[in-house]
Structure 1
Amino acid sequence: MQQHLTIFDPFDGMRFGNHICFLCGTTVTAEEQTTIFPTWLMQEYGLNQELLRLLDQSVVTYESLKVPCCPTCQTQFLQPLEEQVQAAVRQGVAGLRALDEKLLFQWMGKMFYGTLITELIKEQNPLVQPEYAVSEQPKMLMKFQAFFRVLQSLRVPMEFADFIPASVFVVDVDAAAEPSRFEFRDELSTMMFSLRLDNALIICCLLDNGMIKDALGPVWQVVESRQVQPIQAAEFSARVFYAAYLLNVIPDYLLRPLKPTDDHLVMDTLIDDVTNVIFNPWQHSSYAKLLATVWSKWGITPEDILRNPQEPLSMLFSHEGEFIEFPAIPGQSS
């Protein structure tokens, strides 16, 4: 196979370490690293010294989160991607929505994967005993392996045949209603990643082949066409995160055989077990718990959400299914 079309699979033999480029697998020195969160993003939102809690409960600063990265991957692949996304972020929601979804998937995926790699490298330290060791969960590793296969599109010219590996949503939030400029949330098990950048909220399920976007189609059609209040954006985000929790299938990805003249790879996808239902049943009680966590800053409890057990409280839609322009928050005078 042509060298520049060779895919690296670190999960084959668990080849993770401080001297292996996270993207291509070449050997690097201890100094050859890249920050997981791009420098421009940390500067723009003052994140350098902000704290993050990892799976093993250790607390680190954003700027100290780094992964081994060779100069070639850094300059030829990551830097151009960052420049494109930075330019789009400057143009706000419209700029981000105009970006190719594949680029947003790669950008969010790189940060998600960087965080995951940090966990996997740490787990190789015999003194570290995380509560849930990722490397000891075969199903999770299978998901991450499939995900990394398509994330290789960052450095290997790759075409996805009639699919995008992720569901990507860019929500327009009325930032004047809430001062926080930046929020970050990720969830390893469901492969969810979301960032709030001023009035743009980007929500991404990184391994669902767009199935969540299809399932939430009617809701997204309404939300996409409007600027929503922060409490409404939080509700939409909860719906996406909960749908990812219910997703019951893992996409797999297969490379088409390469011909000598090919200058790029073509990736096909299949769902392993077609007998499985795609989503497990929606349960109001579980959804209400998740929604309460994102609504806690407004003082809304699971009990408030489930006053009517058959119809959880919504700030997006009325009982009749109409979009609520200005939601009335329980316990707050209008």
Structure 2
Amino acid sequence: MKSEINFYTNFKEETFDDNTCFLCGRECEIKTTEHIFPKWLQHKYDLWDKRLIVTNDTTIPYRNLTVPCCEKCNNEDLSKVEEKFQALLERSFKNLTFEDEQIIFQWSAKILYATRYKELSLLVDRKNPELGNILTPYELESYSALHLFLQSIRFKTTFHEPKPWSIFVFNCTDDDFFYHNNIVGLCFSMKFGKIAFTIVFEDNNVIEDFMFGLKKLKEYPINFPQYLEINAHLFYSAIIKENAPKYYTTYNDNSKEINVNTVGVLRSRKWNDKEYAYLLDQILTSCGIDIGHSTWNPDGTITSFLIDQNGEHLTRKLFEK
């Protein structure tokens, strides 16, 4: 990579302390606090005093989910992304261009990466501090590609096909905010009332192609259990990835531009219906939905909420090319 040190500090050189910017990796001359879930989002959906479950199954108030950030990254680069993302949300993510998807990718990747970055400073057990923190810098290194892609917030970047993400947009019937993720699958979903999106990172757009039928669901207003079932499909598709694609990235010091190219292809192991049903059960239970039995039935079928008004399974319609 040409002149890498000139545009960001990579994982081998970063210190990960409270005076280091989580985005550019440099020591902050003027330190500010970046809210992982932006203030406008917290106020819009009354999240300030609500709590998010982190990796060790403890909770933290949304308002306390902050990371150190230098003044330029916070007040210039990230602010521009927030403005553009809000504009996309205002139009319900309709008719997304490649550039629009890149904004969603940047906004989402910041949330996922910064949440994990925050866990570097959170204790596994506050009563037993000798157990250490939830995450170590070594473990965070698995997010090095995502961290590198986040530099597209700071510099003009060209992501060459295949793009390192898959995005799905849905229309929902209720007005509640909802967020959940899957760390193993490197994906998450966020529901802004009646509009929602789910994103999978570093899949080279394979899951969007594999789950093409779910793209059509934006034509169907879906209820909350249906929304969760859709995410179970997408999260499981991400979980069964067998490898992480490699990326060749160059930085031009003169033009201040980044180019990202994919090396190799994504491989996934075979879909297992019983494993998928177990994940769906977990997601439903975590959201307080009890159907009285597992979604995996003795005859090998899976209970589904994706039924249309005529009682027909939507997936049969959706996956007809």
Both structures adopt the same fold (TM-score exceeding 0.5): yes
SS at match of 2:171: strand
Q: Distance in 2 between matches of 1:320 and 1:122?
A: 42
Instruction: Determine the structure 1 residue equivalent to 2:86.
Output: 86
Q: How far did 1:228 drift?
A: 2.2
The 3-state SS of whatever aligns with 2:168 is strand
What SS does the corresponding residue of 1:32 show, helix, strand or coil? strand
Paired amino acid for 2:61: T
Q: CA deviation at 1:263?
A: 4.2
User: Is the Cα–Cα contact under 8 Å of residues 48 and 61 in structure 1 kept in the other structure?
Assistant: yes
2:305 corresponds to which residue? 315
Q: Which residue of 2 aligns with 1:129?
A: 131
Asked if 1:50 is matched to 2:50, the reply is: yes
Would you say the 8 A contact 1:4–1:156 is kept in 2?
no
Measured in 1, the distance between the counterparts of 2:69 and 2:295 equals 48
Gaps of 5+ in 1: 325-334
Tell me how far apart the structure 1 counterparts of residues 314 and 108 of structure 2 sit (CA, whole Å): 36
Aligned residues: 310
Contact 2:30 2:70 in 1 (8 A): no
Residues 273-292 of structure 1: pairs in structure 2 closer than 5 A: 278-292=267-281
What is the alpha-carbon distance in structure 2 between the residues aligned to residue 323 and residue 224 of structure 1?
13
TM-score by length of 2: 0.84
AA in 1 matched with 2:231: S
Aligned-pair Cα RMSD in Å: 3.1
Tell me which of 189, 212, 230 is aligned to 1:194: 189
Task: Quote the offset at 1:195 in angstroms.
Answer: 0.8
Return closer, same or farther for 1:46/1:3 CA change in 2, 3 Å cut-off: farther
TM value normalised by structure 1: 0.81
**Aligned: 1:306 with 2:297:** yes
| Cα shift at 1:37 | 0.5
The one-letter amino acid of 1:26's match is R
Query: What SS class does the counterpart of residue 100 from structure 1 fall into?
Result: helix
> 2 CA distance for matches of 1:189 and 1:306?
26
The Cα of 1:122 is off from its aligned counterpart by: 3.8
Cα distance in 2 between the residues matched to 1:65 and 1:195: 17
Q: Which moved more, 1:76-85 or 1:48-57?
A: 48-57
1:269 to 256, 262, 270: 262
User: What is the aligned partner in structure 2 of residue 327 from structure 1?
Assistant: none
Deviations 1:65-102 (A, max 9, x none): 11111111112211111112122223335387897111
Q: What is the match of residue 72 of structure 1? A: 72
Query: Counterpart of 2:102?
Result: 102
Identify the range of structure 1 (120-129 vs 57-66) with the bigger mean alpha-carbon deviation: 120-129
Distance of 1:248 and 1:42 partners within structure 2: 36
Taking every aligned residue pair, what percent have the same amino acid on both sides? Answer: 24
| Residue 215 of structure 1, aligned match among 210, 214, 230 | 210
